[in-house]
Amino acid sequence: MDSETFRHLAQSRRATRHFKPDPLPDGQLEQLLDTARWAPSGYNLQPTHFVAVTDPALKATLRAACMDQKQITEAPATVVFVGDRRVVQNNLDIMLKQEREAGSINDQYERMMRSYVSLAFGQGPLGLGWFWKATLAPLLGLVRTMPSIPAVHKRYWLAKQTMLPAMTFMLAAQSAGLATCPMEGFDERRVRRALGIPASLVVCLITPVGYGADESLTKTRLPLANHLHTNGW
C-alpha cells in the first residue's frame, strides 16, 4: 500500500452508528484481531486483550451497559478492548523467552528489560513501592528528567497501550470494507460483569464492527495549522 492509498483509508474511516444485520465472513473477525495484535506496546508487554462478543443475548446485556446504544445489537460483532493490570506477571517471562528464541534480543538486552520493567512497574510489598514512587517521582522531577511511571499511573498507561491495537483494528476493518464505531459511553463495572471480565483488567474502549448502514457519512477536521506546532509550541 502506498502512502496516498493509506491516506485515503485513514480519511475515509468514520464512526458508524447504524449497521446492517449481515454476518461477517467466517474467520474475518479473528483475522482483523490478529492484525491488531501487531500494534506496538510499551516494553513489548502486549497488555491488550480482545473480548469478542457475537452472541445475541450477550450483546443485549452489553448494550444495557453501554447506555442502550443500539449499534451494539445492530452490529454482528463487538470488540471490547481491555488492558491487563497484571501484564508483567502474566507476560514478561513468556515474551522474553519468545524474543530470545526468535533471536530478537540477547542476554544483555534481557537483563536491561527486566531491570527497567521492575523499576517501572514494581510496587513492592503491601504496595509500599507504589507509595514511594508516587511520592518521590514528582520531587525528583524537580531536579532531573523523570518519565511517567506505570506503577503509579497504571490506568493511564493501559489506556495508551490499548488505543494502539484498537486504531489498528479499525483501520484494518476499514480496509476490509467494514465499519466500526469506537465507544467510550459505557459503565465499566456493568460491562465487566456482563462479560465476566476479571477486576484485574481495565475496560478501555468498545468497538462494534460490521457492514455500515449509514449512507454518505461525512466528517470534517480542523485544518492541520490548528494542531501543528513545529519545533515547539
Give, for 189, the enclosing helix (H) or strand (E): helix 188-195
SS3 category, 70: coil
pLDDT digits (tens, 9 = 90+) for 26-67: 999 999 999 999 999 999 999 999 999 999 999 999 999 999
Which domains occur in the chain, in start order? 3-86+153-226 (3.40.109.10), 88-140 (no CATH)
Closest C-alpha to 195, from 83, 79, 90, 91:
79
DSSP 214: -
pTM of the predicted protein model: 0.90
pLDDT of amino acid 132: 56
Summarize pLDDT for 81-99 with one digit per residue, the tens: 999 999 999 999 999 999 9
Which residue type is seen at 128?
L
Cα separation, 210 vs 151, whole angstroms: 37
Q: What is the DSSP letter of 151?
A: T
Residues (pLDDT < 70) of the chain are 124-149, 151-152
3-state DSSP assignment of residue 33: helix
Rounded to 5°, the CA angle 81-67-13 comes to 50
